[in-house]
Structure 1
C-alpha cells in the first residue's frame, strides 16, 4: 500500500503527486495532455492546486507534466468513478492521516527549521564575503574622503605605483582626456559637467623676463573616485588594494 502511487514532498513540507504517475495508475484511456486539460476545468487553479513542469526528454520533444496537491489528486480520483479511482483515493486518505500525525508534523517542523537556519548561515557567509571584498575599496575611499583638497595627477599616479606621464596616457587610452594644443590634458566633453577637475591659471616670467601664464589642472576628490572606478573596471587597482589581495591569497 505504501508504494501504490509515489508522492513527493515539496519545499514547504507538503505532499504532491506527479500528474502522469497518477494518470498511469488510474489507467485512463485518453492521453495525458487531453485528460489533464479536461480535469483542470473542474475548478482547479494553477499555482494553487497544481504547477506545470517540463518532463525530462527521452530523445523526442519534452512533454508537459504537473505537480498537484493531494487534495486535487483525491478529487481527480473521485471524478474517474472507477475501482482504480476509489483505490487511489483511499490510499491518499490513509497517507494524509499518517502524514498529519503529531510525530510527522514535528519531524517536518524540525526539518524546515534546519533548512531555514542553513539558509540564514549561507546568507551570513555571503555577507561576510562581500564585506571582505569591499574592505580594499573602503580603505581607499577612506583615504580619499580624508583628503578634502585638490590633488595633482602625480599624486594620483603614486597611488597606482606609476608615473604621471604613464597615467595620463592611460587615461587618454580610456577616452577620459585628450591633449590640447598647448599640451594641457583636457577632459572629453561627456566628463566635464561633473566637477572632476579644477584648472587654475599660473603666471610666470620667461627667462627673458617676459610675463606669461599657463593652465594647471588638478583633480577633485570626486574626480579621484571617478578615476578609481574607471581604472578598476579595466583591472587596474591602487597599491593599497593590490596589497590587500596579495595578503588574502
Structure 2
C-alpha cells in the first residue's frame, strides 16, 4: 500500500488507517496503542498534538468513527514499537513520503523565478498570479466597505460637533432628576468631582470633549465658572448610565412601556 501524506494548514500528516494497513495491524488495535501513547505524553506534560491529532471519518454506512492524524514524530513513535520487516518497510515509506511533501511545500513557497525546473516554475507562477488576484480582490472589497461606512461616520461626526451646549439641569431633566441628584450620580460613577462650588471632570475624561466651561462675570470683582455639556458628552452620559446603571431617559422608558 502507498502511504499518503497530506498537508493540513501547513502541517504534514498521515492517516492512522493508512498506517494500520502499512504495518498490517487492525485499526482499532492501533488506536488503542496511540491512546496509550497520548496518555503517557500528557502525563509527562508534553504536547500530544505534536505527535497525534484526533480526527474522525465516515465509514461506508455513514457512521462517524475516530481516527488519528500522525505527524512525522508520531510515525517515529509507532515505528519504534515495530520489529522486523514491517518496521523497516514502514519507516522507509513514511520517511520518503514526508520528505517528498516537505520538498513540495518548499517549492510552493519559493518565488517562481528561483525554480530551475520549467514545469515547477510555471506551476508556481500560476499560483503567484492567483494569490495576487485574490489579494487585489480583498483590497477592493475592503476599500468598498470603508467607502460605505465613511458617509455614516461623517454624519455622526457632524452631530457630535453640534455647537449647542447643555447645562446639567437640562440633561438631568431628561432623566427626571434634579441637577443636584444628577451631579452626585456622575460623581458616584467616577466621572466628576466637586471643587468649591464647581463640578469638574476627572482627568481621564477631561480631554474627551465632553464639556465646555464658561466664566460668567458677576461684578467687577467676582466671576463664576459654569460647566456645560457638549452633544458628545450627552451621548457619553447616555451610554454610561444605560450600561452601568440601567438608567434610561424618560422618553425611552415611555417608549418601552408603550411597546
What is the TM-score normalised by the length of structure 1?
Answer: 0.50
What is the TM-score normalised by the length of structure 2?
Answer: 0.48
| Structure with higher helix content | 2
Higher normalized contact order (CA 8 Å, seq sep 6+, divided by chain length): 1
